[in-house]
């Protein structure tokens, strides 16, 4: 795992290129720690997640490690990955997946728990676990269902064939597809835009969407109204509205 900071953006890179950045237990734990640190760091306003090397974002879970697991160990491994990815999904700071290559199995599951996904036009994604006699175990059946719908989820999980980035964009699995040579620049531009935005408003928006995706509309609307009201207690709201009225760029501080 490598970590770098750039103008308020924390870049977390899964660094096992010889294994196509496959997720083993140690990598899951390292990711969990890296995200916990990024979330708690006052200087970090947005997070970018990617994989090392030109071939893979994350090509999946580590099959060599899984091959020896007992049923109980398999369940524990699943829960370990789910807990880490739930931390990412519930991050109060926006997380952008920079999908630079294969995002298969656990790799697609990792990308899907991020808030935005920017993919190179050469990337391929999928849930091929069926070909190993397995099912997705890090939330793939649930997040894919919510992103792409029942028909696409059944196709990807039952047939196990990867799809290209353009098809993933059509299904709503990734937000944008860009030329591979421009992936880093375009992803960092989006991350910088997020880092410059009002932190408390970002957090409120993420909270509302997370709550709304897991409850009925009446409860979601009530939560949204409460969060909207809270924004009026922030200095950032005063700064943002004043800057608009004064026709200048706002300077948000997170207060």
* Residues 207, 142 within the same domain: no
* Confidence at residue 215, expressed as pLDDT on a 0 to 100 scale: 93
Instruction: Assess if residue 22 is contained within a domain.
Output: yes
DSSP states along 144-203: HHHHH-HHHHHHHHHH---EEHHHHHHTTSSSEEE-GGGHHHHHHHHHHHHHHS-HHHHH
* Confidence at residue 55, expressed as pLDDT on a 0 to 100 scale: 94
* Residues 78, 190 within the same domain: yes
Q: Which of 37, 65, 89, 129 is catalytic?
A: 129
CA–CA separation, 177 and 49 (whole Å): 16
* Confidence at residue 244, expressed as pLDDT on a 0 to 100 scale: 96
* Residues 45, 171 within the same domain: yes
* CATH code (residue 160): 3.90.226.10
Instruction: Assess if residue 230 is contained within a domain.
Output: yes
* Residues 76, 121 within the same domain: yes
Which contacts qualify for 229-232: CB closer than 8 Å, 24 or more apart? 230/204, 231/200, 231/201, 231/204
CA–CA separation, 170 and 208 (whole Å): 25
* Residues 117, 99 within the same domain: yes
The count of structural domains within the chain is 2
* Confidence at residue 241, expressed as pLDDT on a 0 to 100 scale: 95
* Residues 139, 179 within the same domain: yes
Helix 199-212 × helix 235-245 angle, to 10°? 110
* Confidence at residue 74, expressed as pLDDT on a 0 to 100 scale: 96
Whether residue 129 lies in the annotated active site? yes
Half-sphere exposure of 132 (CA within 13 A, CB side): 17
* Confidence at residue 226, expressed as pLDDT on a 0 to 100 scale: 97
* Residues 104, 157 within the same domain: yes
Cα–Cα nearest to 152, from 137, 129, 170, 135: 170
Cα–Cα nearest to 54, from 24, 22, 3, 20: 20
Instruction: Assess if residue 169 is contained within a domain.
Output: yes
Cβ atoms within 10 Å, residue 193:
11
The residue written with tokens 């994350």 in the block is 58
Whether residue 184 lies in the annotated active site? no
* Residues 48, 156 within the same domain: yes
Return the bridge partners of 47, or none: 10, 95
Instruction: Assess if residue 117 is contained within a domain.
Output: yes
Q: What b/e readout covers 50-68, taking b as 16+ CB neighbours within 10 angstroms?
A: bbbbeebbbbbbbeebbee
* Residues 34, 95 within the same domain: yes
The residue range of the domain holding 142 is 2-195
CA–CA separation, 208 and 191 (whole Å): 20
Instruction: Assess if residue 179 is contained within a domain.
Output: yes
* Residues 174, 212 within the same domain: no
* Confidence at residue 175, expressed as pLDDT on a 0 to 100 scale: 98
* Confidence at residue 156, expressed as pLDDT on a 0 to 100 scale: 98
Instruction: Assess if residue 112 is contained within a domain.
Output: yes
Cα–Cα nearest to 100, from 203, 187, 29: 187
* Residues 44, 153 within the same domain: yes
* CATH code (residue 209): 1.10.12.10
Last residue of a domain, one of 195, 210, 237: 195
Instruction: Assess if residue 255 is contained within a domain.
Output: no
What are the tokens at 169? 């964009």
C-beta separation of 1 from 12 below 8 A: yes
Q: What is the DSSP letter of 23?
A: B
Q: Which of 89, 109, 155, 239 is catalytic?
A: 109
* Residues 124, 228 within the same domain: no
Q: Which residue stretches of the chain have pLDDT < 70? A: none
Find the DSSP H helices in the chain. 25-40, 63-66, 71-89, 106-112, 140-148, 150-159, 165-170, 183-196, 199-212, 217-231, 235-245
Instruction: Assess if residue 162 is contained within a domain.
Output: yes
């Amino acid at each position: 795992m490598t970590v770098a900071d750039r103008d308020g953006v924390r870049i977390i890179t899964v660094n096992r290129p010889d294994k196509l950045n496959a997720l083993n237990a140690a990598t899951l734990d390292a990711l969990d720690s890296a995200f916990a640190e990024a979330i708690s760091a006052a200087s970090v306003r947005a997070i970018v997640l990617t994989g090392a090397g030109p071939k893979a974002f994350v090509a999946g879970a580590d099959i060599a490690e899984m091959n020896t697991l007992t049923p109980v160990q398999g369940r524990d491994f699943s829960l370990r990955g789910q807990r880490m990815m739930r931390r990412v999904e519930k991050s109060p700071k926006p997380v952008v997946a920079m999908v630079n290559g294969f995002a298969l199995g656990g790799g697609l599951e990792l990308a899907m728990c991020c808030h935005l996904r920017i993919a190179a036009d050469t990337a391929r994604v999928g849930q091929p676990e069926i070909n190993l006699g397995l099912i997705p175990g890090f939330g793939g059946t649930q997040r894919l269902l919510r992103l792409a719908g029942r028909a696409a989820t059944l196709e990807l999980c039952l047939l196990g064939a990867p799809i290209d980035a353009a098809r993933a964009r059509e299904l709503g699995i990734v937000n944008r597809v860009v030329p591979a040579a421009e992936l880093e620049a375009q992803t960092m531009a989006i991350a910088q835009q997020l880092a410059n935005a009002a932190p408390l408003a970002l957090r409120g928006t993420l909270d509302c969407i997370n709550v709304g995706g897991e409850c009925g509309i009446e409860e979601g609307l009530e939560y949204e109204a409460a969060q909207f009201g809270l924004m009026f207690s922030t200095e950032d709201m005063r700064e943002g509205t004043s800057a608009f009225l004064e026709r200048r760029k706002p300077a948000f501080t997170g207060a």
